[in-house]
Structure 1
Amino acid sequence: MATTLRIVVDQMVTPAPNGISRYTEELARALVLTAPRGCTVEGIASALPAEKIAEIEQALPGLAQLHRTTLPRRELAAAWQLGIVPTLGTGMIHSPSLLAPLRRHHREFDQTQMVVTIHDTMAWTHPKSLTPASVAWHKGMAKRARKHADAIVVPTHAVAEQLSEILDFGDRIRVISGAVASNLVLPTDADERAEQLDLPDEYLLAVGTLDPRRGLTSLITGLGQPDAPELPLLVLGPDSWGELTLAAVADEAGLPEGRVRALGYLSDADLAVVLDRARVFIYPSLHEGFGLPLVEAFTFGAPVVHSDDPALVEVAGGAGIAVERGKKGYPERLTAAISSVLDDPDKAARLAVAGADRARAFSWRDSAERVWALHADL
């Protein structure tokens, strides 16, 4: 008798793709490729338009079937939050987020398994980084997970520890990390892409928004110090956050116009080119659940400077330079760490080698196999 694992893939095609969108697609694809003999993978999605369904099916060859619920995404999220699960609430179900048909069940009697993923604790620790509606939804679904989920997947031990202090999941938490996207490889037309992106010959690279949690303002402030490196800073992300703009923050730091530039959201090919040519990659975020950008930078041999956020320290595994967060002097400490790399070619080379080695510790195949093992244990 065939065993079927159903994975919620709805967030692959959200209007504004995000980290969970990519996580969902990569994990689902790897689950299909690593399915044990006699096991198949099916998908669950909201009442998406036909073209979105086709997009999912094209991205996930080998998916046995894609089930569409009768409700659109917004209504489905609200219904599942209320425990209204008219269909698709039985069998082995894995959700790459908290969007899941959580309900009361008896695993030993009806063979139903419910596993959800909680990527971070921001809804509790940094609610201003999310919308009020998103905070309420995440907290509500986490409470349902506490009641009904058979296991909760988190990306790092840091998140596991933080989550345990917020909700009592007992021994149900499992740490299974993500990895770099399979399509993130250096293209053959790298020089042409670099020219189109107007990349400087040398530059610093960061990722994030001006949300205070991301620490980008501290980085820009530090670059305005008299002894700071004079290389331009390119930012993977938007030019503004609310009423704040990169230009305004850079101007307040005393940086000349154009010294800090947003690249927006790039294709995988363009992102690979930008990472490959960066002198130093900086990730100053004050709170993260995993920190995939670190692994991406490691993959392309970029020396990495990051904050000492527990999740980032765990993911980096000593392959980057960790800078103490928060307390007075954070901008200056970031700048000093960057200068230490730029001024010492041997140190930069050592970091590049250590980072490339660390990146090999993360793979989607390994993550998928651990998900299959988790469901087998359940």
Structure 2
Amino acid sequence: MITLRVVVDQMVAPVPGGVGRYTEELTRALIATAPAGCEVEGIVSSSPPDQYEAIDAALPGLVSLTKTTLARRELAVAWSLGVTASTGTGMIHAPSLLAPLRRHDRQSDGTQIALTIHDVLAWTHPESLTPTTVGWTKAMVKRARKHADAVVVPSHAVAQQLAEIMDFGDRIRVIGGAVGSGLMLPTDSLVSGRVAALGLPEEYIAATGTLDPRKGITALITAMGLPGAPDLPLIVIGPDTWGELNIASVAEEAGLEPGRVRAMSGLSDEDLAIVIARASVFAYPSLEEGFALPIIEAFHLGTPVVHSDAPALVEAAGDAGVVVERADADGYSERLAAALSRVLGDTELNQRLRIFGSDRSRAFSWRDSAERVWQLHADL
């Protein structure tokens, strides 16, 4: 039996985030698509028993769970220093940079290590991360250049950016993600109750992000206060604060009345689906991303999308969204406002975007991603 060992530790991180969801969805799909004679095992840091149980419950079919002797923080430090003996040999796939990178010989013991680099923000936008995260990321990428057999990136945009930072030769593989398996609308009988509970207005613009300047949400809020901008509420799917900034103060500075912009965080998958699906338009003004999952989610739910011309977003959206140039930051809000007004005011364009987006979303599936990961390890 051939075993693929997946580092699933991000699933039980204090804040699993997008990488935690990616890890869970990809591992579940790897189990479902395992070729004949193959199985999937998990690797996790030393954690409380209930977290092991949560992994087992989320990943039925996982043959076993290797528990390291170190807790997550200590494990991250140890692996960044090359202390990896406890992880053993064999095929290892890490859905993030947290990987047991070490000198090994694929020919002698069959050990192969592939990891995932989701973005290059540590170089392009270090202010979006903590100094500790920036330092650890750069250290792990250096180790990956020495010891990784393959490096998975979510988009050709990241592949190109990474090539300018560090030479991985022909070891780069582009394998994107997909919409989460739980992002589905509940039955019609339940929707109205959830809409009331969430306090959703009849019409609104939805966006995903934080007030981190890289996310472009501040520019979007500013756009809502400009002359000729859509006279609709804005719902920001994300936290209300970032550092010392908060949604209310940014909206006030934009000249918007109280309550015109509100943040919603901690949504269940079904509630998230409702908020996106019922939006008149979905805005994703981010200035830099490694992958465009929120756009694909909106496409999947049939909502027209306005997004920036960040390379990863354009790559994922194809021609299914309305693109807004990021250049000339002073004019970005004006261009966002114009694009939103155009989509909301042109019924034919609005309908066309819904159709194109729904079609585009089918290009992304976890099954396809998992099959490509299996093929990657077979090629190695």
Deviation at 1:265, TM superposition (A): 2.6
Match of 2:352 in 1: 350
Q: Which one-letter code corresponds to 1:351 in the other structure? A: L
Whole-angstrom distance in 2 between the partners of 1:89 and 1:129: 35
Aligned pairs for 1:235-246 within 5 A:
235-246=236-247
Shift, 1:17, TM fit: 2.4
Once the two structures are TM-superposed, the CA of residue 374 in structure 1 deviates from its matched residue by 0.2
Aligned residue pair count: 377
Q: Which moved more, 1:320-329 or 1:307-316?
A: 320-329
Letter in 1 for 2:142: K
**Structure 1 contact 89–102 (Cα < 8 Å) conserved:** no
CA distance in 2, matches of 1:278, 1:320: 15
Secondary structure at the counterpart of residue 296 of structure 2: helix
Q: What's the offset of the Cα at 1:108? A: 1.6
Paired residues of 1:83 and 1:101 also in contact (CA < 8 A): yes
User: Who is 1:232 aligned against?
Assistant: 233
Matched residue of 1:347: which SS?
helix
Cα deviation for residue 89 of structure 1 reads 3.6
Deviation at 1:153, TM superposition (A): 0.1
1:82 maps onto 2:84 in alignment? no
Distance 1:219 1:87 in 2: 48
Letter of the aligned partner of 1:253 in structure 2?
A
**For the residues of structure 2 that align with 1:234 and 1:359, how far apart are their CA atoms?**
23
Asked whether the 8 Å contact 1:323–1:334 carries over to 2, the reply is yes
Cα deviation per residue 1:302-332 (whole Å; 9 max; x = unaligned)?
A: 0000000000000001100110004131000
Q: Match of 2:317?
A: 316
Q: After the TM superposition, which residues 136-155 of structure 1 pair with which residues of structure 2 at under 5 Å, given as runs?
A: 136-155=135-154
**Corresponding residue number in structure 1 for 2:274:** 273
Instruction: Please show how residues 194-233 of structure 1 align to structure 2 within 5 Å.
Output: 194-233=195-234
Give the corresponding residue for 1:34.
33
Query: Could you tell me the TM-score, scaled by structure 2's length?
Result: 0.98
CA distance in 2, matches of 1:185, 1:297: 12
Corresponding position of 1:256: 257
Alpha-carbon distance in 1 for matches of 2:17, 2:182: 16
Give distance in 2, aligned partners of 1:253 and 1:225.
Answer: 8
- RMSD of aligned residue pairs (Cα, Å): 0.6
2:194, 2:65 → 1: CA distance?
Answer: 36
Q: Specify the SS of the correspondent of 1:30.
A: helix
State the match for 1:296 in structure 2. 297
Post-superposition Cα deviations, 1:246-273, rounded to whole Å, max 9, x if no partner, equal 1111111101110000011311010011
1:171-186 to 2 correspondence within 5 Å? 171-186=170-185
> Where does structure 1 lack aligned partners over 5 or more consecutive residues?
none
Q: Does 1:12 align with 2:11?
A: yes
Which residue type is aligned with residue 6 of structure 1?
A: R
Match of 1:190 in 2: 191
The corresponding residue for 2:129 is 130
Identify the residue that residue 371 of structure 2 maps to in structure 1. 369
Deviation at 1:13, TM superposition (A): 1.4
State the 1:280 CA deviation: 0.3
Q: Under a length normalisation based on structure 1, what TM-score does the superposition of the two structures give?
A: 0.99
What residue identity is the alignment partner of 1:57? D
Distance 1:219 1:172 in 2: 38
CA offsets 1:93-121 (integer angstroms, 9 cap, x no match): 00000001000011122111000000000
Rounded to whole Å, the distance in 2 between the matches of 1:241 and 1:65 is: 39
Q: What is the alpha-carbon distance in structure 2 between the residues aligned to residue 34 and residue 222 of structure 1?
A: 45
Structure-2 separation of matches of 1:252 and 1:32: 50
For residues 334 and 351 of structure 1, what CA distance do their matches in structure 2 show?
17
Q: Deviations over 1:58-113 (max 9, x none)?
A: 00000010010000000000000000012214100000000010000111221110
- Quote the offset at 1:165 in angstroms: 0.3
Instruction: Supply the AA of the counterpart residue of 1:324.
Output: E
Q: Percent of counterpart pairs with the same letter?
A: 65
For 1:83 and 1:77, locate their aligned partners in 2 and report how far apart those are by CA, in whole Å: 10
CA-to-aligned-CA distance 1:112-171 (integer Å, 9 cap, x gap): 100000000001110010000000111000000000000000000000000000011011
The answer to whether the Cα contact below 8 Å between 1:89 and 1:101 also exists between their aligned partners in 2 is no
Runs of 4+, deviation exceeding 6 Å: none
SS at match of 1:261: strand
Instruction: Give deviations 1:165-223, integer Å, cap 9, x for gaps.
Output: 00110110000000000011001211111110000000000010000000111111111
1:345: Cα distance to partner? Answer: 1.0
Aligned 8 A contact 1:207 1:283 in 2: yes
How far apart, CA to CA, are the structure 1 residues paired with 2:14 and 2:268? 16
